[in-house]
Structure 1
Amino acid sequence: MNYVSLTYLANLFLYSLYFLSRNGAETDASPLAYTISGVLSLFLIGAGYWNAKNKMTYRSVLWMFFVNILLFIMSGVFDRFGEDFNILSTAGDESFIFTLVLVAYNGYLYPMIIDLDGSGFPLVLPVILSGVLPSLGYLAGAGYFSKNRISGNNDQLLKK
């Protein structure tokens, strides 16, 4: 079982519940929204840790990163070629569907995406953090469990 994939799905569900229950404009980012975003980001770090604990490969934490890269590339390709290439766009040079899926798929980052709107960075942020957050957890877990395995092996060698 890949804990990072499950956490992404749980984050999508939990943040959509929060987002749909809000009263106010979509552009309002309250301190509660940042708190929820931070907690859901910690869940991703914890999921990477659990992948390391269960001795999964490092590649197991990068599946969501690869999905985000695919969405980012498709958004860029459709945006670049515009109406000649994009049958899914709303109009002209916009790559609406893929951009919407990228932002919705990474809903836990919504407050930061709103604050960075207009800078070009809101689409890059989910791609970067989908690789960094689970990787931090995985590397912490791999380091912790490899240290415990070494000390555990030494204790058994001393007992013999």
Structure 2
Amino acid sequence: MNYVTIIYLVNLFLYSLYFFFFGKTISETHISTLSWIISGVLSLFVLCAGYLNAKKGMKYRSVLWIFFVNVFLFACSGLFDQFGSDFNILSTGNSDSFLFTLALIFYNGYLFPLTIVLEGSGLALIAPVMLSFILPSLGYLIGMKIHSKKENSAEIN
């Protein structure tokens, strides 16, 4: 069982529920403190999922599936944006890559406050892709360090 994938999908569901019931604000640019806290907690869940993958002895590539999905969505978004008039199957016209960009934002919904703050720059799409690599990898690294220390102390005793 890949904990990172499961936690990512749970985060998607939890933040969707939160946003639907409590996340609506008066203006689009004002993000409440509670939204930042919820986003931070859900980010910690992804970090802990990487730790659980390491603790269960899974390979490092098990934490990278979410990153690969995000890279695929980001690449498709860029391709449709660059060649939109030629690839106009799924885009909205005028070389807009709306569906892939929307999928990338929705798939990383728990990072919504960060996406709103970075809106208007290319970082709004790059940050979720990079965080989908950094958070699970950092959790996996921590899990490997702790797990290897426990194995070394068990061998000494």
Q: Please give the TM-score of this superposition, normalised by the length of structure 2.
A: 0.95
Partner of 2:17: 17
Q: How many residues align?
A: 155
Q: Deviations over 1:66-108 (max 9, x none)?
A: 0000000000000000122122112212100000000000001
User: Stretches of 4+ moved more than 3 A in 1?
Assistant: 25-28
Q: Structure 2: which amino acid aligns with 1:97?
A: L
Partner of 1:50: 52
* Counterpart among 73, 79, 97 of residue 71 in structure 1: 73
**Alignment partners' CA distance in 2, 1:89 and 1:67:** 19
**Alignment partners' CA distance in 2, 1:21 and 1:27:** 18
- Rg: which structure is higher? 1
Superposition pairs of residues 7-156 of structure 1, within 5 angstroms = 7-22=7-22, 23-24=24-25, 25-155=27-157
- Listed as ranges, the gaps of 5+ residues in structure 1 are 156-160
Q: Please give the TM-score of this superposition, normalised by the length of structure 1.
A: 0.94
Percent identity between matched residues is 59
Q: Structure 2: which amino acid aligns with 1:31?
A: T
Q: Deviations over 1:109-145 (max 9, x none)?
A: 1000000001111100011000000011100000001
- Listed as ranges, the gaps of 5+ residues in structure 2 are none
Q: Structure 2: which amino acid aligns with 1:128?
A: M
- The two structures, once aligned, show a CA RMSD in angstroms of 1.0
